[in-house]
Amino acid sequence: MTGPLVVVGDALLDIDVDGAAERLCPEAPVPVVDVGREWQRPGGAGLAALLAARSARDVVLITALGADESGDRVAGLLAGEVGLCVLPLEGETPRKTRIRAGGQSVVRLDHGGGRARQDPLPERVISLLRNASTILVADYGRGVVAHPEIRRLLAEARAPVVWDPHPRGGDPVSGARLVTPNESEAAKFAGEGGTPDDLAAILREKWASPVAVTTGSRGAVLATEARTTTIPVPDAARVPASVRPDTCGAGDRFASAVAAALFEGASLADAVGTAVESAARFVAAGAATAVSRPAAETEPEAATDVFSFAARVRRRGGRLVATGGCFDLLHPGHVKLLEQARSLGDALVVCLNSDSSVRALKGPSRPVTPAVGRKRVLEALEAVDMVAVFDEASPAPLLDRLAPDVWVKGGDYIEAELPEAAVVRRHGGEIVLVATVEGYSTTRILEGVHNG
């Protein structure tokens, strides 16, 4: 299988407000925090996907986000690293804010109780889950994984499924390649206490799947049908005993590292060993704070790249259309193509060949107009929402990340001639060929100029 590593689950926005507490409030014996800086990162399944992308080459997140500022920020924080497939959310995108002083958490404020709507799944979601090479489930109990069709697809998946459960979420589907609760979660799911070995064995029987119970600085206990094994943290990755580490996100790092290792073909035991070491190094490096960004860099208005734009269109229930070409010497035939393409959906992205790409296709005398000029002219057209420049001979790598609902080309092509068609189809998109306007082509215009 050559599909992506697909993460499916509930994403949210995590915020850390760092400050100093040097006095108590006069009205009550609580610390007064003088705010210094604010940091943001994707949380939940969003953090799992971001961390997976640090280890695997092709990661797509299926999640639900609201049409609000927090949803826009999550999309912007993932843009460029993780492909995003957004389902509709009923209510506000969840947001969790940790107030910290001197590196210690003082209080956490939770906003937004949005839940994923149980609408029929888009074809792209179905295609992603059916064609994934590995699937990581991060179920935070906000409705994405509870969708009956998603649960059915996960139960039927041919790819290995790594399931990171949380108390608010449901039980994993039987037959998962690995389930990864931490020790306290394992006790809640088992309904009784016991050693990590006991809990892992109980849950392996309950869920009919191998289970790895993570035990913090002690590593993990892996229970398979054959045996139960303790996998310790390597000495080289241990956090010194004198350090009080922030463990926020350690479970996401463990699960994402297991999924990435399976994605690359590792055995289950080797994948768990890799994940134990990865999680320990993640905590030693500052845990989730190490992947956070200053709030000033995550303003929704700054997320103007094509991928965050595409995510925003889908989050609002829109249909994304894309077309592509050189668009050298824009003529009426181009304009007609763009207008027809835009009429097929709610937003149009133009995939524009770079100057080097045009030269490779058309010869050393082309393009007549450099990419910066062609891009500016296209962006001035009412039909065009965004333009993305690519260097390759084919737009397939760009489309693999953009995953449009519709890919439009001029009718002088046939679908079998389009190398990018398979990529578009794999993501659940459709190919539309529109009729060209007779008598117009850049090559003819240039020949007329030269002959004249």
Q: Which of the residues are catalytic?
A: 252
Residue 422 contacts residue 394 (beta carbons within 8 Å): no
d(CA 196, CA 135): 25
Residue 77 contacts residue 284 (beta carbons within 8 Å): no
d(CA 106, CA 126): 42
d(CA 279, CA 247): 9
Residue 346 contacts residue 310 (beta carbons within 8 Å): no
Determine if the peptide bond prior to 367 is cis (ω within 30°). yes
CA distances from 164 to 103, 179, 250, 323, 450 (A): 27, 6, 12, 38, 65
Q: What is the DSSP letter of 196?
A: H
d(CA 139, CA 310): 24
Q: Which residues contact 382 (CB under 8 A, 6 or more apart)?
A: none
Counting Cβ atoms within 10 Å, is residue 279 exposed (0-12), middle (13-18) or buried (19+)? buried
Write phi, then psi, for 408 (nearest 5 degrees): -110, 135
Give the position of tokens 């003819």.
444
d(CA 37, CA 58): 32
CA pseudo-torsion sign 322, 326, 331, 332: negative
* Cβ count within 10 A of residue 452: 5
Residue 59 contacts residue 49 (beta carbons within 8 Å): yes
Give the position of tokens 């009205």.
27
Write phi, then psi, for 115 (nearest 5 degrees): -130, 145
d(CA 149, CA 125): 10
